[in-house]
Structure 1
Amino acid sequence: GQPARALEYYTQALDIRKKLAAADPSNAQAQRDLSLSYERLGDVTRQAGQPARALEYYTQCHEIRKKLAAADPSDAQAQRDLSLSYIRLGEVTRQLGQPARALEYYTQALDISKKLAAADPSDAQAQGDLSVSYIKLGDVTLQAGQPARALEYYTQALDIRKKLAAADPSNAQAQTDMVVSLYKLGLTNREMADYRAALMRFKDGLVVLAKLREAGRLQGTFAEWPAIIGNDIATCELLLKLSPGLLEDPAWPLLWGWPRF
């Protein structure tokens, strides 16, 4: 809640870590710590609405992580760090209105995540990272006007998240991650005018949320999701009831006073 103060602390930490890394360039931990400082500065400046400045920090972080990952390809942590830096570069370039560049970064993150997940299929974190890469690719392709391609990515993310949620039913994060995938699929189905599929996705997500709420584990912004998804369900049900002729009329949303979907 105090970005200016956080920026000050992260800058001080950066100054210290720069000196430590310079004192022993061969120390991988010192280099990783330095990359984390750049990453934190990128996070706080991006949240403060300064994406161009954040890009500079993320790029510096990324350059360090590329070297660390190349120095020891068998180091899973170094590879994961590199994947996460690609994700952040993708996020900030999307924010800067460069979706094609973001797509490249997300694809590189996906390549690394696939290898890490394949190396240890039982590693829930690696599987979760892989699902995030698919979600990001879905987001950017949907933004680029390719809903069918986005649907494929979101479906791959959902397949992973279903398994993670089933493996640990008590993990609320795994359950809400699955709901996010279902919701994104529902919105994409709706954009493609597949209202029955959208309705199914929304209802599946609502069932998961209802169970979490009943168990007292639906917290934060997700506490508002049942109402949001409920509205989406009502919209899809109404769309299914409307006659095909009305749906083909480009003016039909205006007749009801609704925005176009």
Structure 2
Amino acid sequence: MSYEKVGDVLVAQGDLAGALKAFRDGLEIAEDLSRADPGNAGWRRDLSVSFNKVGDVLVAQGDLAAALKAFRDGLAIAEDLSRADPGNAGWRRDLSVSYDRVGDVLVAQGDFAGALKAFRDGLKIAEDLPRADPGNAGWRRDVAVSHAKIANALTTSGDVAGARRALRSGCDILASLVQSHPDWAEWKRDLAWFDAQLAALDNPGGG
């Protein structure tokens, strides 16, 4: 069993310290492989994933500064991969997700301006992907998720009007997905979440 799989199991068991050690052991191997063959894009991606795994555990442990460094290390690799092969949709999606991870930590640290920049950088990429493949419903959902993250940062920073616009953008995407895939319960739940968030902004007192 790989270090990554061991780490995933330990996370599920609540053993964050053990998971972090497993992920860091895997990270060392990924770094060695990438150094030995820096032109191997697959190994470079594995290294980026390892940084993200480490970062996720550090977030769960509350070590936001170390988590941010790990996520930014992963982001730098994702940027390199996407720059080297801009037509690779998988690399582009990885990059968008990396921006989201950085943004999530910055929100937790109270850096809303930095978080919004990260989320908006991720949104630009997320919006490009379905333009190239309009039938990919998963990528359209990714765009809605990006809008949700932007809305959360704007709400927390006090920009209610901006948050409402972002939520409506995400809501429109989910409504379209539900209309075209009425049997997908997950997207119905997503749409209900957006509706609830909009209702909460329109009626902050709950009365």
- TM-score in same-fold range (> 0.5): yes
Structure 2: unaligned runs, 5 residues or longer? none
The match for 2:30 among 65, 71, 76 is 65
Q: Does structure 1 residue 128 correspond to structure 2 residue 75?
A: no
Give the aligned residue type for 1:164: L
1:43 has 2:14 as partner: no
Kindly indicate whether residue 157 of structure 2 is the aligned counterpart of residue 192 of structure 1.
Answer: yes
| Rounded Cα–Cα distance in structure 1 between residues aligned with 2:86 and 2:206 | 49
Tell me how far apart the structure 2 counterparts of residues 174 and 218 of structure 1 sit (CA, whole Å).
18
The match for 2:66 is 101
TM-score by length of 2: 0.95
Moved over 6 A (4+): none
Q: In structure 2, what is the Cα distance between the partners aligned to 1:209 and 1:257?
A: 24
Identity in percent: 33
Q: Which has the higher contact order (CA 8 A, sep 6+)?
A: 2
User: Taking structure 1 as reference, are residues 47 and 220 closer, same or farther at Cα in structure 2, changes over 3 Å only?
Assistant: farther
Counterpart for residue 196 of structure 2: 231
* Residue 81 in structure 1 maps to residue 81 in structure 2: no
Q: Is the 8 A contact 1:209 1:218 kept in 2?
A: no
Secondary structure of the residue aligned to 1:73 is coil
Measured after TM superposition, the shift of residue 167 of structure 1 is 1.3
The letter of the residue matching 2:45 is R
Structure 2 residue aligned with 1:155: 120
Letter in 2 for 1:40: K
Output the CA distance in 2 between the equivalents of 1:220 and 1:86.
32
How far residue 92 of structure 1 moved from its aligned partner, in angstroms, is: 0.5
Contact kept? 1:137, 1:153, Cα under 8 Å? yes
Unpaired runs of 5+ in structure 1? 1-13, 15-36, 240-255
Aligned-residue offset at 1:193: 1.4
C-alpha distance 73-218 of structure 1, shift in aligned 2 (>3 A): farther
TM-score of the pair, normalised by structure 1: 0.76
Provide the C-alpha distance between the structure 1 equivalents of 2:43 and 2:21, rounded to a whole number of angstroms.
21
Gap change, CA 1:234 and 1:152, over 3 Å in 2 = same
Query: Which residue number in structure 1 is paired with residue 167 of structure 2?
Result: 202
The answer to whether the 8 A contact 2:177-2:187 is kept is no
SS of residue paired to 2:38: coil
Amino acid at match of 2:158: A
Which residue identity does 2:131 align to in structure 1?
A: A
| Shift, 1:217, TM fit | 6.6
Cα deviation, 1:56-97, whole Å, max 9, x if unaligned, reads 110111111100000000000010000000000000011111
Q: Is 2:106–2:114's contact at 8 Å kept on the other side of the alignment?
A: yes
How many residues align? The count is: 207
**CA deviation string 1:198-240 (max 9, x = no partner):** 111111111111111111177354331111111111222345x
**Aligned partner of 1:134: which letter?**
Y
Quickly say closer, same or farther: Cα 1:179–1:146, change in 2 above 3 A: same
Q: Is the contact between residue 68 and residue 78 of structure 1 (CA under 8 Å) also seen in structure 2?
A: yes
Distance 1:112 1:134 in 2: 12
**SS state of the match for residue 121, structure 1?**
coil
Q: What amino acid is aligned across from residue 143 of structure 1 in structure 2?
A: A
